Copies of this chain bind each other. A is one copy, B any other.
Amino acid sequence: MNSPTFSSQLLEEAVEQFAKLPGIGRKTALRMALFLLKQPIEDVNLFSASISRLRNEIKFCMICSNLSDADVCPICNDKQRDNSLVCVVENAKDVLSIENTGQYHGVYHVLGGIISPMEGIGPADLRIEQLEQRVAEGTIKEIIFAFSATAEGDTTSFYLYRRLSRFSVQISSIARGVAIGDELDYTDTVTLGRSIQNRLPFEVKQNK
């Protein structure tokens, strides 16, 4: 589709802005702009204000670097949570994914990326020193690496392991294996191999 001749510069600009969002082409951008034109003016102003406030007012938690409205995020602030257990993740989205499971009651450390020579991201670009400082304080008993099961994730785990091994802290990594619901036929050999190596004692799960 060529760029249509818009009869309105305002519409043209809004479409251009929407089309900058990830995964949004000009056609979808136009649909969004026309959708907003049909909404009540107050709703659109709320939308606009929300975007601006998000970018201007959001902070990084001074403890874990997670996204936060205050200096310390609600997770680090939560006295119910175990702050001797720290899960190290790539970004704020991964925190959400893990929180979503409802299975984790420790705290986090957000690195702000993973080591990726392809994208030019090295250890110095990540919040590794801050993690070392937290460990050095002595209250942390266990560190869990929770990275994607990719070469970059493995590299980051290995690098962090070496940096943290001088501290007396337990280091673990989230389990890799056959995903729940996956059939063995369709599981790749590396995953299947690892899941055999890392087999666990069989347990009959009781419903709570």
Q: Which residues of A contact B (CB under 8 A)?
A: 1-2, 4-11, 13-14, 17, 20-23, 28, 30-37, 39, 41, 43-58, 61, 66-69, 73-75, 91-93, 95-97, 99-100
Known contacts: A44-B55, A55-B36. The answer to whether A7 contacts B75 by CB under 8 A is yes
> Which chain B positions have C-beta within 8 A of A4?
96-97, 99-100
Contact of A35 among B22, B43, B67, B96 (CB under 8 A): B22
B7–A74 contact, CB under 8 A?
Answer: yes
Measured CA separation A28–B93 after assembly (Å): 12
* 8 residue pairs, one from A and one from B, having the closest CB atoms: A48-B52, A44-B55, A14-B54, A4-B96, A48-B51, A7-B73, A17-B47, A17-B50
Find the B residue at minimum CB distance from A58. Answer: B10
A9–B51 contact, CB under 8 A?
Answer: no
A100–B8 contact, CB under 8 A?
Answer: no
Find the B residue at minimum CB distance from A42. Answer: B55
With both chains docked as a complex, state the minimum distance between the C-beta of A38 and any C-beta of chain B, in angstroms. 10
What are 17 A-B contacts with C-beta separation under 8 Å?
A2-B100, A6-B96, A7-B61, A7-B75, A10-B50, A11-B54, A11-B58, A13-B50, A17-B46, A17-B51, A22-B32, A23-B28, A34-B93, A44-B55, A45-B52, A48-B49, A48-B51
Find the B residue at minimum CB distance from A99. Answer: B5
With both chains docked as a complex, state the minimum distance between the C-beta of A67 and any C-beta of chain B, in angstroms. 5
Measured CA separation A93–B45 after assembly (Å): 23
